[in-house]
Structure 1
């Protein structure tokens, strides 16, 4: 079965997200833990979360993916921003305990002209403070497109972070198809080569999720603008290869395309139609 969902809003509650997922043919979903631009999160209502967990169990959901706010920058030049990011992540982890076995994805951050080494030092320092042995969530570093001073544009940068984190058994990677193509990994013409490189540097055992997005920009553009599936520079044939690849097909896929629920429903139906149940 193709495990696929899209990005849903938590504003109406956890149970509502589960129902929205079912209404569009999804069997998982992604959501922001709080406003994507930062700020405080809504209080957890235990009955609401329990209702979602019941929906997920009854419908054999793949792991649900929580996404940290875009403004959370663990390697900012400003110490106060770094402190706020650390506090936000710690709060998110405590909230994720209500969804055991789920995933938590974050953008590694932007070093803001401090340099990659300094940025990675700050990121790993923060992760070493906030990760704890009893954490029930797998924390994912997202592959980035490389715009500005983003960290995570190369597999090597992700590996550097992982190697410097003490509890790195809690860490994994979320691969974004738009981002890695924009970053210079040619999944259109050499998907096998890219996956082999990822396996050599990071390890495919670390890959827990795929953000499945087309790109408005050309290869190696180092930009980050998502496009609907099949309508960008990656093209529909690439997505057929990705979802059916023997090294990827078992993973959960999460759409972040510029869509509302009806558009997501169409994309999910499209991708399910391209998925080969037996390979």
Structure 2
């Protein structure tokens, strides 16, 4: 079974996200559980939580197929200990919100070295931060998103992600979200060599960790190291890439989430993807 949706707005309250997903014909979705560009936010109210769960049922979407995304401000690899702790504390707050909403996972970018420390030190900082998060929370799976390699962001190599997983003490609560734009931009040719890339993912990371995908076309070519999403079929990946993903049994039963640039055609893009199902 394929679970396809988009990263929908939670404007006016998280409880609106399931309804926004329902309007575009989704059976999965992503959302921010707080303002992604602010460190703090008011706690979720009992009404927010109860209405979210009620609307999730109305939309006939399982909590298993909702992929919250954490704040863009968080950097688990920060070279400054105090600033890294601020990120950890903010992440813990988001994990708590996810659990309050009855959801099962949260998606995050690994972190950045900011050209201040080595790749190795930054990866160790991230791994240490993830372990702290795991030790101080429960139930929610932490889903690492691969990156495009833009700036000083890590996670653009499968080896980076494999290293983080290897360092994690509770591997049952770790997953990976593959972003198609990021994967191609990082140099993995999922357009012309889809099977090769997926086999490489399995060999280096392990397909058992694949917990979600972001389905985005890209404005730039292979190995561009640029994170610029495009609507499906309008970028370098072409529709064949997404047909391969939809027909792949390895992508069954996980959230497949659009983050394409024109939300007015999300419903149409979901139909395009569903038409690939045999």
CA distance in 1, matches of 2:26, 2:52: 14
C-alpha displacement of 1:252: 1.5
Cα deviations by residue, 1:161-189 (Å, 9 ceiling, x for unpaired)? 11111122211100000000000111111
C-alpha displacement of 1:10: 2.0
Residue 50 in structure 1 maps to residue 50 in structure 2? yes
CA distance in 2, matches of 1:40, 1:11: 16
Superposed, which structure 2 residues align to 1:136-147 within 5 Å? Answer: 136-147=139-150
C-alpha displacement of 1:93: 1.3
Which secondary structure does the structure 1 equivalent of 2:127 belong to? helix
Cα deviations by residue, 1:132-154 (Å, 9 ceiling, x for unpaired)? 38612111010111112211011
Evaluate the alpha carbon distance shift between residue 203 and residue 76 of structure 1 in structure 2; reply closer, same or farther with a 3 A threshold: same
Which secondary structure does the structure 2 equivalent of 1:10 belong to? coil
Which secondary structure does the structure 1 equivalent of 2:11 belong to? helix
Which structure 2 residue ranges, 5 or more long, are not aligned? none
CA distance in 1, matches of 2:228, 2:30: 18
CA distance in 2, matches of 1:92, 1:9: 17
> What root-mean-square deviation, in Å, do the aligned CA atoms of Structure 1 and Structure 2 show?
1.7
CA distance in 2, matches of 1:269, 1:51: 28
Question: Which residue of structure 2 aligns with residue 74 of structure 1?
Answer: 76
Cα deviations by residue, 1:209-258 (Å, 9 ceiling, x for unpaired)? 00000000001111100001110000011111111112223322011111
CA distance in 2, matches of 1:207, 1:46: 33
Question: Which residue of structure 1 aligns with residue 104 of structure 2?
Answer: 102
Asked whether the 8 Å contact 2:108–2:144 carries over to 1, the reply is: yes
Which secondary structure does the structure 2 equivalent of 1:6 belong to? strand
| Matched length | 275
C-alpha displacement of 1:264: 1.3
Question: Which residue of structure 1 aligns with residue 213 of structure 2?
Answer: 210
CA distance in 1, matches of 2:197, 2:38: 33
Question: Which residue of structure 2 aligns with residue 169 of structure 1?
Answer: 172
Question: Which residue of structure 2 aligns with residue 39 of structure 1?
Answer: 39
Residue 185 in structure 1 maps to residue 210 in structure 2? no
Question: Which residue of structure 1 aligns with residue 130 of structure 2?
Answer: 127
Structure 1's consecutive aligned runs of 4 or more residues displaced over 6 angstroms after TM superposition are none
CA distance in 1, matches of 2:247, 2:171: 29
Question: Which residue of structure 2 aligns with residue 255 of structure 1?
Answer: 258
C-alpha displacement of 1:68: 1.0
